[in-house]
């Protein structure tokens, strides 16, 4: 059993993944501190006001947060995918420099555990994957000082995710019944995982991390159900009852170093008692139903 009232420090708590984790883990006996930017949109966590301790990264001395609060675990969910910026320095700040500063401060103030959100994608695809790969190396280097956990996520999705992400972008275009969507041939497979299942994986890992000795631990999170992109888009079109939009497969080239058939090892995660409970068809139908209703007031 975990000790009572552990303090968790979150980055990315206002984002899609982080906010969903917070909504679930707040039901447990944790003290939750969230690092954000002063310009961050807090709509995703506004209903948790008064139950979280919020700090603006750009307005405070980061070290003072760790000095004043005894942090047991750091959960790094903040991510810059690089979809709306071309400056690699901005991507490196969120994906490498910020977590590296937290790693070093964690070592100084004896934080027991650092949990990092990673991707299963190849480091050669873009600046985002490169920065994630580089931080993983740093995380391994710090493993002698604390429990360092790396979580490799496959393609997670769900209602009200960032529209720049693939699943949300496709769903929104299909719901809007755009004339045409340009796509690759769509033969690459993905292990899509619904947000609820991804969150359950994080909570399992967080709750069980207290039993680990210092060292590096890697978990992969996804579904055994591998689906080709073409099959996914065709399924989404059918579920949105869209008879208008043309799916233009082959209009785009595959990305360099694209993973065509991801290899997942879920054994470490299932050993904790986790199993994905929502199939792709179920998850898409649920997402589409919720998206049709619009953002909750």
Q: Which domains does the chain have, with CATH numbers?
A: 6-157+192-224+263-277 (3.40.50.720)
Tens of pLDDT, residues 52-75 = 999 999 999 999 999 999 999 999
Around 32, how many Cα atoms within 13 Å sit in the side-chain half-sphere? 28
Average pLDDT in the chain: 94
Determine the 3-state secondary structure of 183 from DSSP.
strand
Mean pLDDT of the region 135-160: 96
Mean pLDDT of the region 24-35: 94
Among 145, 144, 59, 150, residue whose Cα is nearest residue 99: 150
Neighbours of 41 (CB within 10 A): 11
Please determine, for residue 294, whether its predicted confidence score (pLDDT) is greater than 90: no
What does the alpha-carbon distance between residue 248 and residue 245 come to, in Å, rounded to a whole number? 9
Contacts of 201 (CB under 8 A, 6+ apart): 151, 219, 221, 269, 274
With 0.75 as the threshold, say if the pTM is over it: yes
Residue 295 pLDDT class (50, 70, 90 cuts): low
pLDDT at 82: 86
Tokens 């991804």 sit on residue? 198
Please determine, for residue 13, whether its predicted confidence score (pLDDT) is greater than 90: yes
């Amino acid at each position: 059993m975990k000790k009572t009232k552990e303090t968790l420090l979150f980055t990315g708590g206002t984002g899609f993944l982080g906010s969903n984790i917070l909504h679930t883990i707040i039901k447990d006996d944790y003290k939750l501190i969230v690092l954000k930017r002063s310009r961050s949109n807090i709509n995703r966590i506004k209903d948790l006001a008064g139950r979280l301790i919020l700090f603006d990264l750009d307005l405070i001395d980061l070290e003072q947060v760790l000095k004043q609060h005894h942090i047991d675990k750091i959960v790094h969910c903040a991510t810059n995918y690089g979809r709306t910026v071309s400056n690699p320095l901005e991507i490196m700040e969120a994906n490498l420099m910020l977590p590296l500063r937290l790693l070093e401060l964690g070592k100084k103030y004896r934080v027991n555990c650092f949990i990092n959100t990673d991707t299963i994608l190849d480091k050669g695809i873009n600046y985002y994957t490169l920065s994630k790969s580089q931080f993983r190396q740093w995380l391994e280097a710090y493993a002698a000082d604390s429990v360092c956990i790396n979580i490799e996520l496959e393609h997670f999705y769900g209602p009200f995710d960032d529209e720049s992400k693939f699943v949300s972008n496709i769903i929104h275009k299909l719901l809007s019944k755009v004339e045409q969507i340009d796509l690759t041939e769509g033969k690459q497979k993905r292990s899509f995982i619904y947000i609820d299942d991804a969150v359950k994986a994080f909570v399992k890992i967080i709750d069980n991390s207290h039993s680990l000795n210092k060292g590096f631990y890697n978990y992969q999170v996804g579904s055994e159900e591998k689906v080709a992109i073409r099959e996914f888009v065709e399924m989404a079109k059918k579920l949105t009852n869209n008879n208008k939009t043309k799916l233009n497969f082959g209009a785009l080239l595959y990305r360099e170093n694209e993973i065509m058939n991801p290899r997942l090892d879920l054994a470490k995660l299932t050993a904790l008692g986790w199993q994905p409970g929502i199939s792709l068809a179920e998850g898409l139908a649920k997402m589409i139903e919720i998206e049709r209703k619009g953002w909750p007031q």
